Amino acid sequence: MPAHHRPGPAGPVLRTLPAALTTLLTVLALLFALPATARAVTPATGPAHPGPAHPGRDWMGSTVRAHEGGGRGGPAPAPLASVEGVDVSSHNGNVPWSALYSSGVRFSWAKATEGTSYTNPYFTQQYDGPYRAGMIRGAYHFALPDNSSGAAQAAYFATHGGGWSADGRTLPGVLDMEYNPYGNVCYGMNAGQLTHWMADFFAAYRARTGRDAVIYTTTGWWHRCTGDYTGFGSANPLWTARYGSSPGALPAGWGFHTVWQYTDSGPTVGDHDRFNGSYSRLKALANG
């Protein structure tokens, strides 16, 4: 038998097996003990956002139920003149737009930005997807008033997906003003400071795009954080959030709502909305 095939003494080999098995089991235990975030997969549509860590509660309406409650069921029967829509952000991932269109959804707003450092890694799929499916689409900005000026955030938003084009199928941008998910619900600012910040945002957005931005908010937040300010109702369309059978009392300054977010637990994607008017009026909003 050739020397290189000759078996060696069994003792040393057998004595090393328990140590090797112990080492292997230790490595496996450490791997399974790692936090889930350490094993997370980066979304296929883009890299993780470049901004600060997010708590996972930073999409439109993410703070509403905790502060204002609301039912889980759908709203009352739709009026004759209304259009079904949805709003989405990175927590929805890649959205099946053709399925939503088949279910009757005709418009969508996707989160584009937050503050001046975050961009939604799924924005391209969530902004172009509904357009290709035949919907009217738009983008929204999650406000961080304690982070930077309104003008700075409007510029960041307009540059990173929040612009507007007169193609008949692009809605004006939305400013999402709701309870701060990171700390003090009014961002540590008083009513005058907050309304000045919003006016700064609206003026800069209009100068950049030629359109008045829509504002998303709730009556409760508006009362608590702006002191029932009435100065925006004549120019900025209202998107109100209330999870129940009707939009309820509106924030001060508006006599009617343009969009109503009526649930955060709808089919396919949680956040469902109704445009307060016919499809032709929705197109008119897109056309400016």
Q: Is 178 a catalytic residue?
A: yes
194 in Cβ contact with 203 (< 8 Å): no
Given CA atoms 19, 21, 22, 23 in this order, what sign does their dihedral have? positive
Return d(Cα 238, Cα 256) in angstroms, integer: 8
How far, CA to CA in Å, does 83 sit from each of 46, 103, 234, 268? 31, 12, 23, 17
Task: Check 87, 264, 271, 273 and give the catalytic one.
Answer: 87
Q: Is 146 a catalytic residue?
A: no
CATH superfamily of 64-287: Glycosidases (3.20.20.80)
Query: What's residue 203's pLDDT?
Result: 98
- The model's pLDDT over 164-198, given as tens digits with 9 standing for 90+, comes to 999 999 999 999 999 999 999 999 999 999 999 99
**pLDDT over 80 at 140, yes or no:** yes
Nearest CA to 130 out of 156, 92, 158, 76 is that of 92
* Average pLDDT over all residues of the chain: 82
Q: Please give the structure tokens belonging to residue 267.
A: 């089919």
**Alpha carbon 100 to chain centroid, angstroms:** 17
Q: Is 84 a catalytic residue?
A: no
- The model's pLDDT over 5-36, given as tens digits with 9 standing for 90+, comes to 433 444 443 444 455 445 444 444 444 343 33
Task: Check 58, 68, 176, 212 and give the catalytic one.
Answer: 176
Q: Give 144-147's long-range contacts (Cβ < 8 A, gap of 24+).
A: 144/114, 144/115, 144/180, 144/182, 144/187, 145/187, 145/189, 145/193, 145/194, 145/197, 145/198, 146/180, 146/187, 146/188, 146/189, 147/115, 147/116
Task: Check 58, 178, 264, 273 and give the catalytic one.
Answer: 178
The pairing of strands 107-114 and 83-88 is parallel
The whole model's pTM is what? 0.77
